[in-house]
Each structure stands twice: as C-alpha cells, then as structure tokens.
Amino acid sequence: MDKLKKVLSGQDGNDDLNVLQSANEASTLGWGTRVKGFLACFVSGVLCSILGTCLLWVPGKGLTLFAVFYSLGNIASLLSTMFLMGPLKQLKRMCDKTRALATGIMITCLVLTFCAAFWWKNRALALLFCILQFLAFTWYSISYIPFARDAIIKLFSACLK
C-alpha cells in the first residue's frame, strides 16, 4: 500500500526536484484527505454525468442540459485524479506523449460542447462533441492501464479484417 501511495503522489524514486515540485510537495494534503477529495470529486462527476443523461429526455432544452452536465461530470472526474497524484504530476502526465493527443481532443471537445450548447445553440453539434469527449476521455483513461491501448487496437484490427 505504501508503494501505491508513493507512485500516486509522485514519489516514485525521482529525487531530482525542481522549484515547482518542491512547492507542490510543501502544499500537499494528507493521504486520507486526498482520498476523500478524490471520492467527492469522482462521485460528483459521475452524478453530473448521470443527471445529464437523465436530462437528455427533457423536451426543449434537454440536449443542451445533457451537454452541460455531461461535460461538467467529465471535468470533475478528471480533476478528481489530481487529488491522488497532485496537480503538477497530473498535468505532466496529461501532457505525456502517449496522452497528449487524447488530452488535447478531450479539452477541445469540452470547450466546443459549451460553445455548441450556449453560443451556437446547435444541438447536433453539442451531441457530436459529447460523443467525441467520451471517446477521447476513454482513450485517455485506458492509457493508464498497461498494454490496454495495444489490446484494443489489435481487437479492432482483427474485427475489421
């Protein structure tokens, strides 16, 4: 369990600390507080996504409400992992070469979802951007599971033959 705590908090043997990492370590929360923050953010993210899905069926503004609540749920779920790893470590991992494209697409689709819902008032685009958000967030999430992306690529390539 201690090894898991060290890996998630960014103390996995890297002794080269710069000023930002030192500041990050000085302001870290205790492990229990981190877990509580993670659970609170993650549960609120899941609840927002479920609420958004339920609001999809509301006549009139249902699709707009879905887009907003689903996007807020994704943001909260993404922020929840910052409690476990710390904000700096999470941002570095989001920008790793294996996750940078998925992160960029996910953030772009989040912004475009809000634009489609509020500014352009185009429900079809809002739904399309939510679907792209889901796909990018899924691809981003499975990048943390060793060899999961390779397995999915092999599965789809076998299905397409």
Model confidence pLDDT, tens digit, residues 109-129: 999 999 998 899 888 898 999
The domain of 147 spans 2-160
Q: How many CA atoms lie within 13 A of 71 on its CB side?
A: 25
Per residue in 91-107, pLDDT (tens digit) is: 999 999 999 999 999 99
Name the DSSP letter for residue 118. I
Total number of domains in the chain? 1
Q: How many CA atoms lie within 13 A of 46 on its CB side?
A: 6
Residue 53 backbone class (left: φ over 0; alpha: ψ -120 to 50; beta: rest) = alpha
Per residue in 53-93, pLDDT (tens digit) is: 899 888 888 888 999 999 999 999 999 988 888 888 899 99
The answer to whether the predicted template modeling score (pTM) of the entire model surpasses 0.85 is no
Cα–Cα nearest to 83, from 50, 41, 46: 41
